[in-house]
C-alpha cells in the first residue's frame, strides 16, 4: 500500500521546550491509523506540525509523496489534508448549512464529491438543525458539523484530534458509526482518541507515543491482544 502521509524524525518545540523528539509513522491510502498516548504526550503538537500550524524544528513530513514541512497551513490544506480540530472550531455565527458550504471544494478530485445531501445522510441530526447557528448546537452536533465540514473539502486524508472527547456516550457511538461508514467508503483517516476498544475495531494501525517519542507501533490485532499497552501508554 503506498503511503499517503509519511512522518520521519519529527521534532517540535515551544520556545526552548522541546516536546517532540522523534515521531515517525505512515498512513497509507484508504488506511485508518491512530495516534495514541496520555494527555500532554504530544499528539496535538504532532497533528499541528503535520498541518503546518506549529512548524517542525526537524524531520520530514511527506504528503502524496511531496515534502510539506515548512509549507503554510493553507497550502497544506489545499493539497487535501483536512483537520477536525480539538475543540471543533466551527463558525458560531454561521448556520449549519453556511458552515458546511464555507470551505466546500473537491481537493482530492473525486468523481462523486461530498454534497450537503450526503453529509445530511451521514448525520440526519445536522439536517434537522441546518438553519441553526453554530453556537446553538450541542457538543455532539458541533463535532458532527466539524466532521461534515472537513468532508465537504473532499480530503485525501481526514485527521481527527480528540474525535469523541467530552461527548455523551450515545453521541460518541454515533461518531464511531460515522467513522466506520467513512472507512467503508475507503476514506483515509488519522484519528486521535482514547477509546482503544473502539479504535482496535475501526483502525488498521496504531502508534503509541510517550513524551514526544514513539514507544510502540503495530496493527489492531497486536494492540487488542495486549491490554497492558493500553493501561501503560493510554491510561485506560
88 binds ligand ATP (CB under 6 A): no
Binding residues for ligand ATP, how many (CB under 6 A)?
11
**From CA 224, how far away is CA 96, in angstroms rounded?**
38
166 binds ligand ATP (CB under 6 A): no
**From CA 228, how far away is CA 6, in angstroms rounded?**
28
Q: Which parts of 201-220 interact with ligand ATP (CB under 6 A)?
A: none
Smallest separation (angstroms) from ligand ATP to the CB of 17 = 6
Grid cell 476514506 is found at 187
DSSP output for 104-151? ---TT--SS---HHHHHHH-HHHHHTTTSBGGGS-HHHHHHHHHHHHH
Stretch that binds ligand ATP, among 37-45, 95-103, 110-118, 145-153 (CB under 6 A): 37-45
Of 21, 34, 36, 44, the one binding ligand ATP (CB under 6 A) is 44
39 binds ligand ATP (CB under 6 A): yes
Nearer to ligand ATP, 19 or 223 (CB): 19
Nearer to ligand ATP, 37 or 80 (CB): 37
Name 173's Cβ contacts closer than 8 Å, sequence gap at least 6. Answer: none
**E strand or H helix that includes residue 158:** strand 157-160
Read off the DSSP letter of residue 161.
S
Q: Which parts of 8-27 interact with ligand ATP (CB under 6 A)?
A: 14, 17, 19
43 binds ligand ATP (CB under 6 A): yes
45 binds ligand ATP (CB under 6 A): yes
Contact between 177 and 103 under an 8 Å Cβ cutoff? The reply is no
Q: Which parts of this chain interact with ligand ATP (CB under 6 A)?
A: 14, 17, 19, 37, 39-45
Amino acid at each position: 500500500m503506498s503511503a499517503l502521509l509519511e512522518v520521519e524524525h519529527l521534532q517540535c518545540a515551544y520556545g526552548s521546550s522541546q516536546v517532540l523528539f522523534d515521531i515517525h509513522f505512515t498512513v497509507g491510502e484508504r488506511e485508518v491509523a491512530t495516534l495514541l498516548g496520555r494527555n500532554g504526550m504530544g499528539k496535538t503538537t504532532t497533528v499541528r506540525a503535520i498541518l503546518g500550524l506549529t512548524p517542525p524544528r526537524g524531520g520530514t513530513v511527506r504528503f502524496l509523496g511531496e515534502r510539506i514541512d515548512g509549507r503554510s497551513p493553507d497550502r497544506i490544506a489545499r493539497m487535501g489534508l483536512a483537520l477536525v480540530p480539538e475543540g471543533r472550531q466551527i463558525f458560531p455565527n454561521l448556520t449549519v448549512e453556511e458552515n458546511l458550504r464555507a470551505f466546500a471544494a473537491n481537493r482530492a478530485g473525486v468523481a462523486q464529491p461530498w454534497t450537503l445531501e450526503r453529509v445530511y445522510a451521514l448525520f440526519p441530526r445536522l439536517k434537522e438543525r441546518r438553519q441553526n447557528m453554530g453556537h446553538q448546537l450541542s457538543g455532539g452536533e458541533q463535532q458532527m458539523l466539524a466532521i461534515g465540514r472537513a468532508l465537504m473539502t473532499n480530503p485525501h486524508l481526514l485527521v481527527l484530534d480528540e474525535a469523541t472527547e467530552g461527548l455523551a456516550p450515545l453521541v460518541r457511538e454515533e461518531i464511531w458509526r460515522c467513522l466506520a461508514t467513512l472507512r467503508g467508503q475507503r476514506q483515509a483517516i488519522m484519528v486521535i482518541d482514547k477509546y482503544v476498544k473502539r479504535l482496535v475495531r475501526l483502525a488498521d494501525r496504531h502508534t503509541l507515543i510517550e513524551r514526544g517519542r514513539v514507544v510502540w507501533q503495530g496493527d489492531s490485532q497486536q494492540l487488542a491482544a495486549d491490554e497492558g499497552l493500553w493501561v501503560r501508554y493510554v491510561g485506560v
